[in-house]
Amino acid sequence: MSNIGSYEERVKDFSWKTAEEELGYKEGEVINIGWHCTDRICKMGKAQKTALIWEGHGGEEKRYTFDDIRKATNTIGHYLKSIGIKSEDRVCLFMDKVPELYLGFLGVLKIGAIAQPLFSAFGDESLFVRLENAQTKAIITQRKHVGKVRKLLERTPFLEHIIIIDHDGLKPLKEREKAFDLEKAEWIDEFEIFPTKAESPSVLHYTSGTTGLPKGVKHVHYSIISQYLTAKWVLDLQDDDIYWCTADPGWVTGTSYGIIGAWSNGVTQCVLDAGFSADSWYKFIQKNKVTMWYSAPTAIRSLMKAGEELVKQYDLSSLRHLASVGEPLNAEAVIWSQRVFGKPFYDTYWQTETGSMMICNYPGMKVKPGSMGKVFPGVTGAVIDEKTFEPITEPNKPGLIGFRPGWPAMMRAYWNNEEIYKKKFANGWYLPGDKSTVDADGYYWFVGRDDDVINTAGHLVSPFEVESALLEHPAVAESAVVSKPDEVNMEVVKAFVTLKPGFEPDEDLELEIMNFIRKKLSPLAMPQEIEYLEKLPKTRSGKIMRRMLRAQEWGQDIGDTSTLDDE
Amino acid sequence: MDEMKDVVLKYVINEYLEDEDEVLTYDTPLISGGIVDSFSMVSLKRFLENKYKISIPDDKATPEAFDSVTKIVKLVNEFLK
């Protein structure tokens, strides 16, 4: 029997009080994600239950019970307090998927500080703009990434502490650097948790828009209410599950469901901190007897490419339930999964700003391959007319996805950017920026983005950010960045550039520019193709017509070109 | 062969290795070892194609085929013949 039982019945009777009661929370009382994911689970009698099975490069393995993670998060919290970190200070977690990332996240929350997880593959410029925007006080990182932080010292006077978790003592620490070794530290058993309330800030995740700098999405401790319940009802997490969320906590899935969702439900989860290969993923599932697997369409399509014969070499019979998030899951992937694993991937739709799942396929509810599913009980959603911002009642007519604000994990602000935050709402609806249709049965079908943001492998890349970085390359005079279709990643970044006099458009320069962006921003933002143009298409007022370039890549009609400056 | 191994190893160290103290060998796992991610593999493939004037089909440019310098050199040699 699934946790949700009947979707229709849950919709009828829904109240967020269900989750509040199950988590033992009453309005106005203290609520702290760090405590709820560790101490509370121990108090429920699960102290000796395995909380985390971690595997690193080369097969190194570490295991932690819920009592271990309780003490480890106490220890990290205690250390941060000892160096002067206070409630609401921003603490950046800039690490690979090592245990300290997961434990550090909760340790930060336990002292009432704000966790700012950042993808460790970010280049120094991507790191800088996010640290500067948040005025981050401390960063916890690894030796292998500290070089990127050192490059920013002059520009980050606000960053008081650079905490290195694996300093080996072979080279001296530099300015503002501190060594903290969790395994060698004296673990703290008794620790006073900061009394955060429902609206106390908890997490700051960064996301990209079409224009402007990345935005810091502010979440609060009350978000655990919807993260707990969606993990229970949609991922169907049960007490004896071995759960694997493949997302990196540098992104919202990796925290909402790679940390909070699983541990607030007292479920054992495993983490593989190694690069992707179909072989190693199947081996990991077999070895750990994974029962619930939450992954992403890009990974699923990569597994499809690796072939069905490979699947047969492993015993994957432990798998009980599968789900997906990141970008729309194509019908072929759902059908493939049903054929090779004997069960479909259940697609889920949500984003950094929503903090928890919004439109989902549920255990027990018929899956229509290619559909995002139905709106989560307790959330009011609709397809909205783009001009009137009123709900469209006619089935299968495309419009903007809209949600009525009010679910617990809804973002509370963009950090220091009230103006952009307000623009996300119209006529009382929160607009995530995606278009869809809804059919007569209430199933949502993804149509596309409502802006120029590029969704590559489930991660949003701002064309503006890449264009700006391209202009810093000595050869580039002008740039325009759009998405182009990709079989595995759905979309990838493509750049069009004009060159400054004296530079020749050749393959070596293309590679040099690609690597320039990769190191400055991130591998995700690196254009996978660069096309040299004599001039970029522009309107007569000088605005680059990105729309035309995008249409060219997607084989679409280029539309109205009456404003094109073709002289 | 050894010359190509050194060229590729040097390129990987210069372009992808973040930890300056880490020692890379011809057989260090690059993809599964987290040194080169799947997106960055595109630039590594492009380097090999530019350098050795070859074209590596996408279905041959798998994480497994790019998982060490030794494997990469083996792959490149398939297309040089």
**Residue A567 confidence (pLDDT):** 55
The hierarchical CATH code for the domain A7-437 is 3.40.50.12780
Interface check for A313 against chain B (CB to CB < 8 A): the answer is no
**Alpha-carbon torsion angle B13, A94, A252, A469, nearest 10:** -60
**Residue B32 confidence (pLDDT):** 86
Q: What stretches of A17-122 adopt beta strand conformation (E)?
A: 50-55, 61-65, 90-94, 114-117
Selected for mutation to probe chain A from B12, B39, B62 (highest A CB count within 10 Å) is B39
Cα–Cα distance measured from residue A484 to residue A231, given in angstroms and rounded to the nearest whole number: 33
Q: What is the pLDDT confidence band of residue B33, given thresholds at 50, 70 and 90? A: confident
Could you say which residues from 1 to 40 on chain B have a Cβ atom under 8 Å away from some Cβ of chain A?
A: 15, 18-22, 29-40
Task: Output DSSP code: residue B68.
Answer: S
- A558: number of Cβ within 10 Å: 14
Interface check for A457 against chain B (CB to CB < 8 A): the answer is yes
Interface check for A150 against chain B (CB to CB < 8 A): the answer is no
Name the residue among A314, A306, A407 with its Cα closest to residue A360: A407
Contact B64 A279 (CB under 8 A): yes
* Chain A closest-CA separation from residue B2 CA (Å): 23
Q: How many CB pairs under 8 A join A and B?
A: 79
Interface check for B53 against chain A (CB to CB < 8 A): the answer is no
**Residue B1 confidence (pLDDT):** 63
* CA A436 to the chain's CA centroid: 21
Q: Where in chain A is CATH 3.40.50.12780?
A: 7-437
Contact A526 B39 (CB under 8 A): yes
Residues of B in contact with A306 (CB under 8 A): 62
The domain A454-554 belongs to what CATH superfamily?
A: ANL, C-terminal domain (3.30.300.30)
SS3 assignment for A157-192: CCCCEEEECCCCCCCCCCCCEEECCCCCCCCCCCCC
**Residue A297 confidence (pLDDT):** 92
* CA A311 to the chain's CA centroid: 27
Contact B32 A511 (CB under 8 A): no
In A492-545, alpha helices (H): 507-520
* Chain A closest-CA separation from residue B59 CA (Å): 8
Name the residue among A423, A422, A445, A418 with its Cα closest to residue A434: A445
Contact B40 A523 (CB under 8 A): yes
Amino acid type, A198:
A
Residues of A in contact with B37 (CB under 8 A): 121, 275, 523
**Residue A328 confidence (pLDDT):** 85
Q: Is A87 exposed, middle or buried (0-12, 13-18, 19+ CB in 10 A)?
A: middle
What is the spatial order of strands in the sheet that A161-164 belongs to? A177-179, A161-164, A138-141, A90-94, A114-117, A201-207, A215-220, A413-414
Cα–Cα distance measured from residue A196 to residue A194, given in angstroms and rounded to the nearest whole number: 6
Phi, psi of A482 (to 5 degrees): -135, 175
Interface check for A173 against chain B (CB to CB < 8 A): the answer is no
Residues of B in contact with A275 (CB under 8 A): 29-38, 63
b/e string for A217-226 if b means 16 or more Cβ within 10 A?
bbbbbbbbbb
Q: Which residue of B lies nearest to A60 if distances are taken between CA atoms?
A: B33
Amino acid type, B61:
A
Task: Output DSSP code: residue A376.
Answer: P
Could you say which residues from 246 to 275 on chain A have a Cβ atom under 8 Å away from some Cβ of chain B?
A: 273-275
Per-residue pLDDT of chain A (567 residues; tens, 9 = 90+): 899 999 999 999 999 999 999 999 999 999 999 999 999 999 999 999 999 999 998 889 999 999 999 999 999 999 999 999 999 999 999 999 999 999 999 999 999 999 999 999 999 999 999 999 999 999 999 999 999 999 999 999 999 999 999 999 888 999 999 999 999 999 999 999 999 999 999 999 999 876 678 999 999 999 999 999 999 999 999 999 999 999 999 999 999 999 999 999 999 999 999 988 899 999 999 999 999 999 999 999 999 988 999 999 999 999 999 999 988 899 999 999 999 999 999 999 999 999 999 999 999 999 999 999 999 999 999 999 999 999 999 999 999 999 999 999 999 999 999 999 999 999 999 999 999 999 999 999 999 888 888 999 988 898 988 998 999 999 999 999 999 999 889 999 999 999 999 999 999 999 999 999 999 999 999 999 999 999 999 877 777 888 889 999 999 877 767 667 765
Facing residue for A511 by CB, picked from B19, B22, B43: B43
Name the residue among A280, A278, A305, A300 with its Cα closest to residue A346: A300
B2-80: CATH class: mainly alpha
Q: Enumerate the β-bridge partners of residue A164.
A: A141, A179
Q: Are A205 and A223 in contact (CB under 8 A)?
A: no
Amino acid type, A265:
N
Contact A171 B50 (CB under 8 A): no
Provide mean pLDDT across the span B36-59: 93
Q: Enumerate the β-bridge partners of residue A217.
A: A205, A414
Selected for mutation to probe chain B from A276, A301, A310, A529 (highest B CB count within 10 Å) is A276
Interface check for A143 against chain B (CB to CB < 8 A): the answer is yes
